[in-house]
Amino acid sequence: MRIACVGEAMIELSLAGETPKLGVAGDTLNTAIYLHRSAPDVQVDFVTCLGDDPFSQRISDFISSQGVGIAAIRRINGASPGLYAITTTDEGERSFTYWRNASAARQLFSDHDFSALAVYDAVYLSGISMAILPPAVRTALIEWLGSSPVKVIYDSNYRPRLWEGQAHAQQITTAMWRRANVALPSIDDEMALFNETAEQVERRFAARLGQGALKRGEEGPMSLGSQAVQTYAPAGSVVDTTAAGDSFNGGYLGALMTGKSQSEALMAGHRLAAKVVQHRGAIMPE
């Protein structure tokens, strides 16, 4: 099994008190790392663009050190990666400040050539992966995915500031939900993107064909595509909710790809996310 996780890897700046800590993260990269940890025998590659600067090399070295493949990463002379900073409240809720407008990842698939994805069994994308691409590239990617047999895994991961407008984000996300074989939405993102209540989001995804999970935080995931009713214990203490959804995706997909049932995959994702939120930053110690 080979899976490509497509998106942006950035330099992560987080604070522990007044002490800054430098790391590497990005939503689809976080999932790639947790997927590899959950299913070491699955070949997980990260697909992005980086520059030729020291921070790009730091990102590449980090990804490789986590067991995720880097052969599909394209290097661009004169480019550099994005940067983001995490601020957390006493309750562990986080907010982000970004410096990413000139990120090398925005040049991903700039030639409209998606053939590199054809060698994989599955492609994992997010709303952030789509939002950082120019509109013409997004459209071309959706058209290519529509004609490709590759399995598509999608998480809408809505970040309003990355999009030209909400209506366009809705259009792209709706097209991706139609194509996705495995859907991994978060209820808060879907509520914000489509101006729906939690109940409306649940009804919409309950009627959807295909496999997946609707992430609902402490309440636990709602199974998509098959019945799986079980109780999910909340995290012991929440320090930082960064990558909670990304780690759920990695644990869930890792379980599915190693032959576990839907119920076991949902529980694996929830338990992993519950551990991750007890650590600062996106990637907890292995």
Looking from the CA of 263 toward its CB, the CA atoms found within 13 Å total 5
Per-residue model confidence (pLDDT) at position 269: 97
Q: How far apart are CA 97 and CA 86, in angstroms?
A: 7
pLDDT tens, the chain, 286 aa long: 999 999 999 998 877 677 788 889 899 999 999 999 999 999 999 999 999 999 999 999 999 999 999 999 999 999 999 998 877 777 766 677 889 999 999 999 999 999 999 999 999 999 999 999 999 999 999 999 999 999 999 999 999 999 999 999 999 999 999 999 999 999 999 999 999 999 999 999 999 989 999 999 888 999 999 888 788 988 878 887 778 999 999 999 999 999 999 999 999 999 999 999 988 778 888 8
Q: How far apart are CA 76 and CA 118, in angstroms?
A: 22
Q: How far apart are CA 174 and CA 185, in angstroms?
A: 12
Cβ-proximal residues to 65 (8 Å cutoff; 6+ apart), any chain: none
List the catalytic residues.
246
What's the N-to-C CA distance of the chain in angstroms?
23
Angle CA 283–129–115, to nearest 5: 115
Q: How far apart are CA 277 and CA 243, in angstroms?
A: 8
Per-residue model confidence (pLDDT) at position 231: 86
Tokens of 45: 């590659």
Burial (CB < 10 A; 0-12, 13-18, 19+), residue 101, is exposed
Give the type of residue at 80: S
Per-residue model confidence (pLDDT) at position 127: 98
DSSP state letter for 215 = B
- Asked whether 124 and 54 are in contact (CB, 8 A), the reply is no
In the chain, which residue ranges form alpha helices assigned H by DSSP? 27-38, 54-65, 127-131, 135-147, 166-179, 187-194, 198-206, 244-257, 262-276
Q: How far is CA 93 from CA 102, 186, 197, 208, 237, in A?
A: 27, 16, 21, 30, 12
DSSP state letter for 115 = G
Q: How far apart are CA 76 and CA 50, in angstroms?
A: 6
Tokens of 89: 């409240």
Per-residue model confidence (pLDDT) at position 19: 79
Nearest to 72 by CA among 48, 53, 107: 48
Rg of the chain (C-alpha set) = 18
Angle CA 170–175–181, to nearest 5: 125
Per-residue model confidence (pLDDT) at position 190: 98
Per-residue model confidence (pLDDT) at position 16: 66
Per-residue model confidence (pLDDT) at position 126: 98
